[in-house]
Chain A
Amino acid sequence: MTSNSHADAHTLEANAGGHGHDDHGGAAHGSLKSYLIGFGLSVVLTAIPFWLVMTGTIADKAVTALIVLVLAAVQIVVHMVYFLHMNTRSENGWTMMAMIFTVVMVVIALTGSLWVMHHLNINMMPMHDMSQMP
Chain B
Amino acid sequence: MSVATTQISVQGSEPVFHVIDEHDHPEGASTMLGFWIYLMSDCLIFAMLFATYGVLGGNYAAGPAPKDLFDLKLVALNTTMLLLSSITYGFAMLTMEKSKIGQTQLWLAITGLFGLAFLGIELTEFAHMIHEGATPQRSAFLSSFFTLVGTHGLHVTFGLVWLVTLMVQTARFGLTTANRRRLMCLSMFWHFLDVVWIGVFTFVYLLGMLR
* A84 and B37 contact, Cβ closer than 8 Å, known pairs A35-B87, A49-B202, A113-B51: no
B116 to chain A: closest CB distance in Å?
A: 20
Q: Measured between alpha carbons, how far is A50 from B194 in the docked complex, in Å?
A: 16
| Candidates A1, A65, A68, A110; contact of B50 at CB < 8 Å | A110
B32 and A76 within 8 A (CB) = no
Q: Measured between alpha carbons, how far is A95 from B37 in the docked complex, in Å?
A: 8
Residues of chain A lying within 8 A (CB to CB) of residue B61: none
Q: In the complex, which residue of chain B has the Cβ closest to the Cβ of A80? A: B195
B90 and A83 within 8 A (CB) = yes
A79 and B198 within 8 A (CB) = yes
Residues of chain A lying within 8 A (CB to CB) of residue B161: none
Q: Does A133 contact B (CB under 8 A)?
A: no
Q: Measured between alpha carbons, how far is A99 from B33 in the docked complex, in Å?
A: 11
Q: Measured between alpha carbons, how far is A98 from B33 in the docked complex, in Å?
A: 9
Residues of chain A lying within 8 A (CB to CB) of residue B37: 98
Q: Measured between alpha carbons, how far is A50 from B33 in the docked complex, in Å?
A: 35
Residues of chain A lying within 8 A (CB to CB) of residue B86: 39, 42, 79, 83
A109 and B210 within 8 A (CB) = no
Q: Measured between alpha carbons, how far is A124 from B109 in the docked complex, in Å?
A: 53
A94 and B202 within 8 A (CB) = no
A96 to chain B: closest CB distance in Å?
A: 10
A50 and B87 within 8 A (CB) = no
A40 to chain B: closest CB distance in Å?
A: 10
Residues of B within 8 A of A (CB): 1-3, 19, 29, 32-33, 36-37, 40, 43-44, 47-48, 50-52, 54-55, 72-73, 75-76, 79-80, 83, 86-87, 90-91, 93-94, 97, 184, 188, 191-192, 194-195, 198-199, 201-203, 206-207, 209-210
29 contacts between A and B (CB under 8 A): A1-B1, A1-B2, A21-B97, A27-B32, A29-B93, A30-B90, A30-B93, A31-B94, A36-B87, A43-B83, A46-B79, A49-B202, A50-B72, A50-B79, A50-B206, A53-B206, A53-B209, A54-B73, A54-B76, A72-B203, A76-B199, A91-B32, A102-B43, A105-B47, A106-B47, A109-B47, A110-B54, A113-B51, A117-B55
